[in-house]
A and B are shown apart, each in its own frame.
Chain A
Amino acid sequence: GIQVEQSPPDLILQEGANSTLRCNFSDSVNNLQWFHQNPWGQLINLFYIPSGTKQNGRLSATTVATERYSLLYISSSQTTDSGVYFCAVGSNDYKLSFGAGTTVTVRA
């Protein structure tokens, strides 16, 4: 299956800071999604982004499929941004494979 590597594994931010999370994958994909798992365990779909750039409020994501990576940008971070951010990719086997996640802690 496709290997998914996320970096950094942990990130501590001061409220108001910007950050970039990275997702590298080992093969071509036709599906890439970013999720946020909040401290209560709920998994929220942030972006469906197999290629290109999307923005949603303070969050944006870019996937460069030809170079096999995706980036998630968090701007002006807030304490509610804390949690684990997962990148998940899918290919011809129709399975969505998750990375190990980046744990983000935003301090007030």
Chain B
Amino acid sequence: DTAVSQTPKYLVTQMGNDKSIKCEQNLGHDTMYWYKQDSKKFLKIMFSYNNKELIINETVPNRFSPKSPDKAHLNLHINSLELGDSAVYFCASSQDSLLNYGYTFGSGTRLTVV
């Protein structure tokens, strides 16, 4: 039983397309995150939701829009994809938003924009 699962694992798409990445956690955690890992393996937070409420919204292009239908799901929709969006996107969850617990990461989605 995968604790944090992301789909798809790989996504290859053309510039200008719109795509979504889905994330689900079965740990009963209240908080979920999206991180972006660039080609140099640097990990940077993009968004965080706590019980479906957006609590962290870093400086990312507004082409990126997260959606949390319930606290077990956090999806990432990307409009008008650009070459620079190519990266690995990780979903993660934690028990609360107050940094009192460790994070559990999904296996990542490798997005390639051609």
Question: For window 79-114 of chain B, which residues contact chain A by CB distance below 8 Å?
Answer: 88, 90, 97-105, 107-108, 110
A32 to chain B, nearest CB (A): 9
Q: Mark A17-52, 1 if CB is under 8 A from B, else 0.
A: 000000000000011010101000111110110000
What are 8 sample pairs from A and B whose C-beta atoms fall under 8 A apart? A31-B99, A33-B103, A37-B41, A43-B90, A45-B105, A84-B41, A94-B98, A95-B48
Given the interface pairs A41-B88, A48-B102, the reply to whether A95 lies near B107 with Cβ below 8 Å is no
Cβ of A96 within 8 Å of any chain B Cβ, yes or no, is yes
Kindly list chain A residues whose C-beta atoms are within 8 Å of the C-beta of B77: none
Is A69 on the interface with B (CB-CB < 8 A)? no
The tally of residues in B whose CB lies under 8 Å from a CB in A reads 25
Is A45 within 8 A of B88, CB to CB? Answer: no
Interface residue count on the A side (C-beta < 8 Å): 24
A residues less than 8 Å from B63 (CB atoms): none
Q: Name, among B43, B58, B97, B104, the residue most crowded by chain A CB atoms within 10 Å (CB to CB).
A: B43
Give the A-B pair count, Cβ closer than 8 A: 54
Q: Which chain B residue lies CB-closest to A47?
A: B102
Q: Report the Cα distance A37→B98, complex, angstroms.
A: 24
A11 at interface, CB cutoff 8 A: no
Interface residues in A69-108 by Cβ distance below 8 A to B read: 84, 86, 88, 90-91, 94-98, 100-101
Given the complex, which residues of B lie within 8 Å of A98, measured CB to CB? 42-44
Q: Chain B residues near A95 (CB, 8 Å)?
A: 45, 48, 56, 58
A33 to B110, CA, bound (A): 24
